[in-house]
Structure 1
Amino acid sequence: MLTLVAFEMKKFLNRKKNLVIILLFMSILFIFVGLNASIESQMKVSEISSIEDQIKSIENALIGIDDEIEKLPNNNDIVYIKKSYTEDMETLKKQKEAYKENDAFTYLKFKLKLDKKLLSDIQSQKVISGKDPEEIKMDIKINSILLKKKIQPIYDKVSMKGYNFIKIVLNSPLTLTMMIVVIMLSADIISSEIEFNTYKLLYTQPISKNSILFSKAIAVTIVVNVIIFSIITLFFFILGIKNGFGDLNYPTQFFVNGKLQFVTIGEYIVFELIMLLLVNTFICILSTFISIFCSNIGTSISITLIISVSLYMIINQGFISKIAPLIPITYIDISNILQGNMIKISQNINVFNGIKVLCISILMLLFTGIVFFQKECILKVKKDTSKI
């Protein structure tokens, strides 16, 4: 079995098509890193101007409020608004100075003060804000943890620090891209034998058909996972050396037991990589299974892509929300699942259900594949014999 696996791995690595796909995937990651680094730079530059705009807006509002107070000196509501605006303006000025001096923790302290006050005013209906109260609550929780643990804040949706790169690289657009890459690498594992007529030699060897299928499935799964994980690790180290690795204790949103909570980015990454391993393995086994029935590489890749991408789109549109937790393709959206963004489709879509569904699906596909592979081998050998 080990000899067969090693032989299949060697064949996989010798295919020029696979090298091209790997290079294309790395190019996509380079673009992803470049775009996020550019957005992060813009966010850093715009932070000061955003605070200055808020200060100017309050200053203009205070001019109008002073005029109103002259007309209605006994109106307590207007007096309260002036006091509130004045306090906000002073806090913003201090926040601006802290940001300029790279004093992250003082900056956080003032940001927390403003967010708590804004949330209180929204809840008491003293102000109307475009900000979602739940989003403000989440910001308050994260920033409170950062301040308490003295963790340097980052723009966690775009930051290209090492650990944060691993966290955000498995967001929706890239997970779909990764699925397509895995399919293109693995979907020809058996159909290529038929297309190039090497199956005749393979099927007539004194080796059990189970061993042939298992060796191919194991080989493609190992190689694909090693490639994907190696590329991510390479980018992680390059970005870590260039931008810093970040803090392993950075708070990260995590959905478990029907509620959102915060775990460290280190714990988050562990679950993320477990899910990535299982998702890649499932896609490899699915591709191998479909490849059994296809007589050429193009058909095998096309059918696997159509089935997988179509299911992915249907699930994300919420058309089959009742059965979505039972479909392994649902769990391709790793980051959205871990952070609880998939609960809008179903409350049962979470990391632990994902692990169960993916493991069961992998085993079911393998055992079903064995049955069909043996039948396909017999049919092809009989067909070839009848031609003779």
Structure 2
Amino acid sequence: MSKMVTVDYFYKNELFEQLQLWMILPPVSQFNEKSLVPAQVTEIPTGEQLAYYILNKNERLHLNYDVELYSTKNDKKALTEEEKKFYLRNTILSPINKETTKLAEEIAYQQETDKEKARAIFYYIVKNYRYVYPPSCRGAKSFLELKEGDCGEFSMLFTALCRALNIPARTVVGSWANGKMEGHVWNEFFIEGEGWISVDTSMAFIQKKRPWSFFGGSIRTIHWKKYFGQTEGQRVVFSKDIEIELVPEYKDDEEAFIAASMIINGENFGWGQQSLNGCAPYLQPIYIKFQTNNELFFLQDASHVLGTWKIREHGLKHLLAVLKITSLIVATVTMLFSFIVQNLYLEFTFKFTFIIFFLCYILRREYLVIFNIMTLFMILSLLATLDGG
């Protein structure tokens, strides 16, 4: 099946006379549609290009592009000293301090290799922390105190603990590769000779403790232990780390009335008016800067904070996704009518379309065991209906 997807990203400055916007340019050679040229492009330590835009009132940024599903297979197998330093740095959201260093050493004291140490951290986080969305506070420091957070906190803590043991690590920001605004955050750590290795502690927690959370969706989950070392291969990356330094310099609006749209490590943070020492907390896929003329202003709509994006699969995957939804609607409607009106054709239709619905899951490799059983059950039921007719 095709590994290509189409990403359609849109942001419109509807509120301000002028707005600054930063985002990582996607790794593509050309765009299907690109409405605005960046005022500046800077290569950053992750190897990505950071674009800087200025949007006047009612101007829009629209990027439509085709990209392969994200994979670390073709990434480099060695890091330069500068890259190692970058991926071992101390940050606000993933601090390297006495607390995280002591905890990391306690977790990994029996492990010999960096990979074994990272695996011990993975198991520790999955066992001792709880997934909650939305989180009450952002950052590894708060996560250590509250013992709960979403994918961001799970990832920030994993990064901090790995870096505390001198293991290069990064918090990867992206999206599930289907649907609208399905943001997600996970990790990668680096082993010389092997390269970047994927880890997803929050998905591991969900699959271990709440295995039905994604049932019925279009995300192909795997066994929770496999989230150390791999993913299901249905992701797009927006940024290969968090707390990216913004260029041109991000100047905090110190005199503005800060609308505390977020709490970071227990302190109010005004999204779009403050930075973390000149860095964006994260780019999913953008960070913005706006002026409010010293008026209290709340960004309540996600489209004003992050913009909107939609990702569509290609080829057979897309056709199966459409067929899955269509067959479920037909099957449900005809099943309801068959309960009201005893009719052989209605009964045949709803059972046959349910088989198609289940087969779509199987062909997309989603919940194979469950839907193989359900398909077999429905086929037997359909044959019994035909024999009875």
TM-score tier by shorter-chain length is under 0.3
TM-score (norm 1): 0.26
The structure that is helix-richer by fraction is: 1
Which structure has greater strand proportion?
2
TM-score by length of 2: 0.26
Greater Rg by CA: 1
